[in-house]
Amino acid sequence: MKERIFQYLLEAGSGVSADQILGDVFRIHAPDSHSSNSILAGFLSRDARFAFTQGLWSLSSRSGEPGRFDPGRTAVLHLRCPDRAGALRDLRGALRFADGTVEEFTGSAAVKVMCRIRRKIENHILVAWSSRELRLWNGLLRARGLEACQGNTLYLRSLAARVLKRKPSQLQAEDMASGLGVSPADEDRACETVQHLHECWLLLLDRVPAESRQTPDSLREWMEGSAAAMDFSRFSFGPGFLRQLPEASGIYIMKDREGAVLYVGKSRNLKRRVSSYFTPHALSQSKIARIHERLHSIEVQQTGNEVEALLLEMRLIKQYLPAVNLQTEIHQRKTDRREGRNLLLFVTDAQSGRALIYFFRNGIFAGRLAARLGHPPPKRLREKIRVLFFGPGGSRGRHRVETWEKEIISRWFSSNLRRLNCLDVDEAKDFAAVLELLGHYLCDPDRLMHKVCYR
């Protein structure tokens, strides 16, 4: 209840009478002003965020004190996710901003629309139903060449599970609505749904102990419940280390007290993956229990993209032979990998302003080079293409790649080709045409962030 009043006063921006607050927020009509003030005082008198002066209720100067949790500075995200993973253009959603306005969007929204939305939620806490919605939202931002959300994020499903004493994996949005005594929203109406999620967010906050919602971190620790009680004293790190991990692709190395490598893993989101090792559910898994028996420290290393994380993981496994990693050999599959196709595949990195170009000759990985976005193809790249695809036999000067490396990259690109940009050398027919098309890609970085097909 307090959070709903807080949000109402934040949006009002000035003092409001008790009669008006009760009527607008709770549809309650007291017999007189004295009764209205008495009702509100019973809820708000001990909360330093609220002030009562000259017969009006408003937010005190302490409500925005640095370091305090301000539920008013939150943006609530709703996404209706497609059935097919990664189909960003099929997304439908809406964002409710701190000022109470709502903006609906689709996966095909223009860059300027997404840029405006991204700007409006800067420095706000983002509230989403689960990490999947955040992952898709960040994917949509990256597809538009925008920076993903790196700040504080809170998940409604985790909060609702803690408040309603349910398992997160078994909790749906309609279950949350039922547990809070409100009607579920129509998921086909994005604006209505995001308003509903915002209402549930405030109702859930009302049921959190006051000392646990002073800061986003204290609220997050309360939401994690028994997971927060994990004993970190035997490790060289604590919960703070997990919270500071980057939400980026890379590898993580787990070591014992003597510095020996126990396990090497990779992930497209290091923070989510490494944190998953420190939950009650994780401890019930035999492999993770083996890691915890000897674990002392963790090192992480970011990579430019997901496939580079795959390669680095396998190199480190071959180097250290960790006890818990079981697979150290990659066996070639006798499956169609688009045999005979000559392709250039592009993986862009907006932060570095570069694109990694992977060469496939006759469907087999044959090397990679980096090129700057917004610039024509450099001489080294042009020469690589000429020698590999248009030289005698296409073998002279080829990049030396081990069999396991070829297989890993070929498998990854085979399963992700539909969402990647590629240039078909065979369709281009000659060297000049390939260079012209390559120039279109590299000199058009905004479009290269999306799935485009130059031919």
Q: What domains can you pick out in the chain, each with its CATH number?
A: 2-64 (1.10.10), 74-223 (no CATH), 232-320 (3.40.1440.10), 343-448 (no CATH)
What pLDDT score was predicted for residue 354? 82
Of 11, 235, 198, nearest to 95 by C-alpha is: 198
Residue 343 or residue 409, greater confidence? 343
Establish how many alpha carbons lie within 13 A of residue 157's alpha carbon, considering only the half-sphere containing its beta carbon.
Answer: 17
Amino acid letter, 221? E
What pLDDT score was predicted for residue 209? 84
**Buried b / exposed e along 57-84 (16+ C-beta atoms within 10 A):** bbbeeebeeeeebbbbebbbbbbbbeee
What pLDDT score was predicted for residue 265? 92
Contact 28, 21 (CB under 8 A): no
Name the 3-class secondary structure at 425: helix
Q: What is the pLDDT of residues 141-167, one digit of tens each?
A: 888 787 777 667 888 898 888 888 887
Residue 202 — pLDDT band, cuts 50, 70, 90?
confident
Establish how many alpha carbons lie within 13 A of residue 69's alpha carbon, considering only the half-sphere containing its beta carbon.
Answer: 19
Q: What percent of the chain has pLDDT over 70?
A: 77
Q: Output the six-digit token pair for 227.
A: 């997971």
183: exposed, middle or buried (C-beta count within 10 Å: 0-12, 13-18, 19+)?
Answer: exposed
What pLDDT score was predicted for residue 236? 92
What pLDDT score was predicted for residue 208? 85
Name the 3-class secondary structure at 22: helix
Of 152, 193, 199, nearest to 8 by C-alpha is: 199
Distance CA 197, CA 287 (A): 37
Name the 3-class secondary structure at 16: strand
What pLDDT score was predicted for residue 8? 76
pLDDT at 54 over 60: yes
Residue 391 or residue 51, greater confidence? 391
Integer CA distances (angstroms), 328 to 254, 300, 313, in order: 17, 20, 10
Integer CA distances (angstroms), 8 to 4, 192, 307, in order: 6, 18, 47
Of 96, 100, 95, nearest to 24 by C-alpha is: 100
Q: What percent of the chain has pLDDT over 90?
A: 9
What letter would DSSP give residue 63? G
Distance CA 302, CA 308 (A): 9
> What average pLDDT does the chain have?
77
Q: What is the pLDDT of residues 415-428, one digit of tens each?
A: 666 667 788 888 88
Q: What is the pLDDT of residues 16-48, one digit of tens each?
A: 887 888 887 777 777 777 777 777 777 676 566
Helices (H), 13-155: 18-26, 33-44, 111-120, 131-143
Residue 171 or residue 65, greater confidence? 171
- Pick the range with the lowest mean pLDDT from 241-245, 420-424, 430-434: 420-424
Distance CA 154, CA 129 (A): 8
What pLDDT score was predicted for residue 47? 65
